[in-house]
Amino acid sequence: MRHSRGTAPCSELAPRTAPGARIAVADPSRTRHLDWIAPVARGRIAQGGKSILFPASALARKGAYALREALQGLDLDVIVAGRAQEHEGDFRRGVRARPLEGAEWPCQLAAVVLPALVEHEPRPLLKALAHGLPVIATEECGLGDVCGLTTVPVCDAQALRNVIVATTNGCFA
């Protein structure tokens, strides 16, 4: 995690982030650095409630099972944006989870969480940041240091749980 509580400094209002920054440093002569551009927030999604959004399918590579383990015993609902499922295991075991209905996000979310092992399109995370929602993700999501982002180590359910509890002010522990 970064900084005292793992939250990146709020040095920018509109996040323009740096995916692949570590790769660029390794070979700067063959690298062209492109920033992600934050989407414009349409409508308003407020921070609050007791639902977190998992903006992907419930797959191991997206961190679904680390999230499931982290949420055990917490009074939080998970809204799963993707439709794909793995044959092995049931993501919903021990967690109140439901699919996202349609493309519109709920009007209130406690956080957006993606503890992915690999992520090539972090657009939902950028959308959440544009709405001022807290985002919990791994460095593998490629967002770098942006305001509102808290990073957690890959496959560390306890660290993920600690950040979720801190982000929701312990209200659902």
Q: What is the DSSP string of 57-125?
A: -B-GGGTHHHHHHHHTT---EEEE----B-SSS-TTTTSEEEE--SSPPPSEEEEEEE--S--S--HHH
Q: What top-level class would CATH report for the domain 51-167?
A: alpha beta
CA distance 103 to 173: 29
pLDDT confidence of residue 2:
39
pLDDT tens track of the chain, all 173 residues?
333 334 433 333 233 344 456 667 777 888 776 666 767 767 778 788 899 999 999 899 999 999 999 999 999 999 999 888 776 556 667 788 899 998 889 999 999 999 999 998 899 999 999 999 999 999 999 888 889 999 999 999 999 999 999 999 866 66
Domain boundaries along the sequence of the chain = 51-167
Are 163 and 70 in contact by the 8 Å Cβ rule? The answer is no
pLDDT confidence of residue 127:
93
Are 146 and 129 in contact by the 8 Å Cβ rule? The answer is yes
User: For 26-30, which contacts have Cβ atoms below 8 Å and span 24 or more sequence positions?
Assistant: none
Are 164 and 74 in contact by the 8 Å Cβ rule? The answer is yes
pLDDT confidence of residue 15:
35
β 77-80/135-137 pair status: unpaired
pLDDT confidence of residue 84:
81
CA distance 138 to 56: 14
